[in-house]
Amino acid sequence: MTQDKIRLTSICLREIELPLIEPFRTATGIVDRRRIILAELREEDGVTAWTECVAEAVPSYTSETVDGAWQALSGWIIPLVLEKTFGHPTDVHAALASWVPDHPMARASIEMGTWALAATRREESLARFLSRSSHLGVSPRKSVATGIAIGMHSDNGKLLDRIETAISEGYRRIKLKVSPQSEMQTIRDVRSAIGTTTKLSVDANGSFSIDDENHLRFLEKLDSLGLAMIEQPLGEEKFEQHAELQRALRTSICLDESISSDASAERMVRLQSGRIVNMKPGRVGGFTEAVAIHDRCRLAEIPLWCGGMLESGIGRAYNVALASLPNFTLPGDISPSSRYWVRDVITEPWQMDSDGMVTVPVERSGIGVEVDRDFVDQILVREATFRS
Ligand code: MG
């Protein structure tokens, strides 16, 4: 394990504002830029790795935010890892999880960066290093299938046009955001427009309750549409209720927000709360937990897919590496750079081929992408360097 020793001498945090191609509406207004924290980790021998924190500007997906993560990183997480020697990236995870139990996205940015550092020092790809760390002992896949999430549109025609374009671009799976207030007819229209070759799924972000008769009726209607999955219909703590709902539905339930750790994955498996997991490494505190959940779900025959958090090309590199593990058998939110960004922060943007596949850089060392440092400087909002 000595080869994977981690000893960080400095970490530079940078917040950038990355312009979006398509502005989107949030509870507080229109957003046309994604606020992102990037971290550059450096070791004594000059080996570096760039990494990204997936926390969003506002606490809508989870309670973490860009400002909270910046505070957690600079105040607690970075001082805890600088100038300490760790035998392996999993030791970084163990230390951070015990010292800073909250802030999984902030912790994950540093923990995942140490996986990239260790891979870089071994002169192998992050994908290969991760696959050897899985107990399943397999090679990473060379390309990963890509799906797309599309927001509900007030204009049905525009929504169907958007979906038609996505299918022609090659996306393997279309996902719609739904809530108890969604128009069932719109979902039916999408279902019939898509046909049977492209998978359709819905994501409710926990907006339904099994104690509400109207919600149950809505879910029954969804169940008749032959969807690939219904993602997180109920609240994140509702493991028993998800199990009850799964017994009543033919459609597979996918858990997203509920899976915050390997312990929660164990609970899901034990209670049979669903049949699919949406894995976001930032949500579970990094790759140590992500690989443990991957291995557990593989043994339980629960497939995974890699969710997206509107990452830049740097965060995407980590998702691509993770999604190359064998139990990621469903299309992930691993869109090409051009889906979101006017210009990405890496020198060679991520591309998707016409079959909806993104190539895993298995032969390049580390994360496999070069950071466009000039562009990072152009969109820089704040910067702070921490040294031991
Ligand atoms: Mg989701």
Q: Residue 303 has which token pair?
A: 């497939």
Catalytic residue among 5, 84, 177, 221: 177
CA pair distance 258, 248, nearest whole angstrom:
19
Q: Which residues contact 352 (CB under 8 A, 6 or more apart)?
A: 146, 169, 170, 171, 335, 336, 358
What is the distance in A from the centroid of ligand 1 to the CA of 231? 6
Residue type, position 91, single letter: D
Q: How far apart are CA 52 and CA 319, in angstroms?
A: 11
User: In CATH terms, is domain 131-359 a member of 3.40.640.10?
Assistant: no
Closest of 281, 265, 278, 176 to residue 227, by C-alpha: 176
Kindly give the distance from the C-alpha atom of residue 257 to the centroid of ligand 1, in angstroms, as a whole number.
7
Tokens of 162: 């958007």
Distance 123 CA to ligand 1 centre (A): 34
CA 314 / ligand 1 centre spacing (Å): 21
Q: Angle CA(264)–CA(270)–CA(275) in degrees, nearest 5?
A: 80
- Which residue, among 124, 93, 171, has the nearest Cα to 324 in the 3D structure? 124
Neighbours of ion ligand 1 (CB under 5 A): 203, 231, 256
Q: 3-state DSSP helix/strand/coil percent for the chain, to nearest 5?
A: 40, 25, 40
Sign of CA dihedral 200, 205, 209, 213: negative
CA 127 to chain centre: 15
The alpha carbon of 289 and the centre of ligand 1 are apart by a number of angstroms equal to 18
DSSP 269: H
27: three-class secondary structure by DSSP = coil
Give catalytic status of residue 177 as yes or no: yes
- Indicate where the chain has its CATH 3.20.20.120 domain(s): 131-359
Beta strands in 94-180, from DSSP E residues, in sequence order? 143-145, 148-150, 173-177
With CA atoms as reference, report the closest residue to 35 among 383, 386, 379. Answer: 379
| Core vs surface per residue 300-309: b (16+ CB within 10 A) or e | bebbbbbbbb
What integer pLDDT is reported at residue 28 of this predicted model? 66
C-alpha 278 to ligand 1 mean position (Å): 7
Cα distance from N-terminal residue to C-terminal residue, the chain: 24
Beta bridge partners of 175: 149, 201
Dist. CA 28 → ligand 1 center (Å) = 20
- The pLDDT, as a whole number, for residue 1 is 46
325 DSSP β-pair partners: none
Active site residue 175: no
| Residue-wise DSSP of 308-321 | -----HHHHHHHHH
Q: Which among 284, 281, 283, 7 is positioned nearest to 118, based on CA atoms?
A: 7
Structural tokens at position 103: 């802030």
**356 closest CA partner among 174, 169, 175, 161:** 169
pLDDT of residue 2: 65
Q: How far is the CA of 386 from the centre of ligand 1 (A)?
A: 34
Q: What is the largest CA-CA distance in the chain?
A: 62
Single out the catalytic residue among 175, 199, 238, 280: 280
Residue by residue, pLDDT tens for the chain (388 residues) are: 467 899 999 999 999 999 999 887 766 678 899 999 999 999 988 999 999 999 999 998 899 999 999 999 999 999 999 989 999 999 999 999 999 999 999 999 999 999 999 999 999 999 999 999 887 777 899 999 999 998 877 788 999 999 999 999 999 999 999 999 999 999 999 999 988 888 999 999 999 999 999 999 999 999 999 999 999 999 999 999 999 999 999 999 999 999 999 999 999 999 999 999 999 999 999 999 999 999 999 999 999 999 999 999 999 999 999 999 999 999 999 999 999 999 999 999 999 999 999 999 999 999 999 999 999 999 999 999 999 8
Angle at 11 between CA 345 and CA 97, to 5 degrees: 105
Q: What are the tokens at 388?
A: 């031991």
Question: How, if at all, do strands 229-231 and 199-203 pair?
Answer: parallel
The CATH number that domain 6-123+371-387 falls under is 3.30.390.10
